[in-house]
């Protein structure tokens, strides 16, 4: 059973979780269970000055505790194409639309100086994030935010976890924590957009914001976008999240890669040897930090 935060006098950090549609999910029960584990990870925070928005077409099949707000949307299902790359792009835009909706909701109801972080509905986060943000926000000037240069990759049920010492923010969407006003150039376009409009998806204004977020403010592009505006994110000084991969084999921790480039046998052997030193036992200390129950 999740325990809700007790102090709502000030929200330091808002977590936005985009949830895929029930009609797209292979198993809604599995999707809901993964989300439940992500919520447990969030609720392991050492500070309670945060809130959670879940944005989706259907409410998950679990009882949401206080402090978690479900924001319903009526977005069309992402199309499925013969070309899997087009299907992936359609799903990415669906995710971007839900994140954009959450950002607009927070922009209309929240504090621009507060912080926001997108969390994928199956990833895990460090229990230190809110407390770290709270401490750093007292500085002058207040930091704009952080990108997660390092992190972990994990297969559910495994006793092992792989450390990524660089490039984590290029791989995982749960890797950007910023002040809300980092998105101001995006949100200022239509600050009063009616989010309760049943035809919101068909509004060209909303489509423009979603396309802008999808192209310029996702985890792979936001650093360059902000740099072009004279703004800069700092690297988070500790691993902030775990990218959860749904495979079954320990060997994938060594061999699987997100690149399609062909490499020589010598390069593959060197890569496996390097990754050997990045794989570690997923013990109690790490499990406690990321809110994962002992299995």
The C-alpha angle 52, 223, 139, rounded to 5 degrees, equals 65
Tokens at residue 131, please?
A: 């407390």
- Dump pLDDT digits (tens) for 42-84: 999 999 999 999 999 999 999 998 889 999 999 999 988 888 8
- Quick one: average pLDDT of 271-291? 82
- Mean pLDDT on 2-28: 78
Asked whether residue 7 is assigned to any structural domain, the reply reads: no
C-alpha 80/C-alpha 94 separation (Å) is 12
Where b means 16+ CB within 10 Å and e means fewer, 168-190 reads bbebbbbbbbbbbbbbebbbeee
What gap in Å lies between CA 33 and CA 35, rounded to an integer?
5
Whether 159 is in a domain gets the answer yes
| Position 1 in a domain | no
Name the helix (H) or strand (E) containing 209: helix 204-216
Q: Is residue 245 part of a domain?
A: yes
Question: Domain containing 70: what range?
Answer: 13-289
Cut 0.75: pTM above it:
yes
**The tokens of 237 are what?**
């000084």
Is residue 5, in this structure, part of any structural domain at all? no
CATH of the domain at 260: 3.90.550
Reported confidence tier of residue 30, pLDDT bands at 50, 70, 90: very high
pLDDT digits (tens, 9 = 90+) for 263-276: 666 565 555 555 65
Q: Is the pLDDT of residue 252 over 70?
A: no
- Into how many domains does the chain fold? 1
pLDDT band at 156 (very low <50, low <70, confident <90, very high): confident
Find residue 69's DSSP bridge partners: 53
């Amino acid at each position: 059973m999740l325990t809700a935060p007790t102090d709502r006098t000030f929200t330091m950090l808002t977590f936005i979780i985009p949830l895929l549609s029930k009609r797209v999910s292979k198993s809604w029960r599995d999707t809901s269970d993964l989300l439940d584990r992500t919520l447990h990870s969030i609720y392991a925070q050492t500070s309670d000055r945060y809130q959670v928005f879940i944005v989706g077409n259907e409410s998950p099949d679990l009882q949401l505790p206080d402090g978690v707000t479900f924001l319903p949307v009526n977005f069309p299902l992402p199309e499925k194409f013969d070309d899997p790359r087009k299907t992936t792009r359609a799903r990415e835009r669906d995710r971007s639309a839900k994140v954009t909706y959450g950002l607009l909701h927070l922009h209309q109801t929240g504090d621009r100086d507060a912080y926001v972080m997108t969390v994928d509905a199956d990833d895990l986060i460090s229990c230190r994030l809110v407390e770290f943000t709270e401490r750093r926000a007292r500085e002058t000037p207040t930091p704009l935010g952080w990108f997660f240069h390092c992190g972990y990759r994990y297969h559910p049920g495994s006793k092992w976890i792989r450390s990524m010492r660089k490039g984590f923010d290029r791989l995982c969407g749960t890797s950007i924590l910023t002040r809300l006003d980092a998105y101001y150039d995006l949100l200022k376009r239509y600050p009063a957009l009616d989010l309760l409009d049943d035809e919101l998806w068909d509004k060209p204004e909303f489509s423009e914001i979603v396309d802008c977020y999808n192209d310029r403010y996702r985890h792979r592009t936001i650093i360059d976008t902000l740099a072009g505006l004279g703004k800069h994110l700092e690297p988070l000084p500790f691993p902030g999240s775990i990218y959860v991969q749904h495979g079954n084999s320990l060997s994938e921790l060594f061999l699987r890669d997100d690149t399609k480039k062909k490499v020589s046998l010598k390069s593959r052997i060197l890569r496996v040897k390097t990754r050997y030193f990045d794989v570690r036992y997923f013990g109690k200390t790490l499990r406690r930090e990321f809110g994962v129950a002992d299995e």
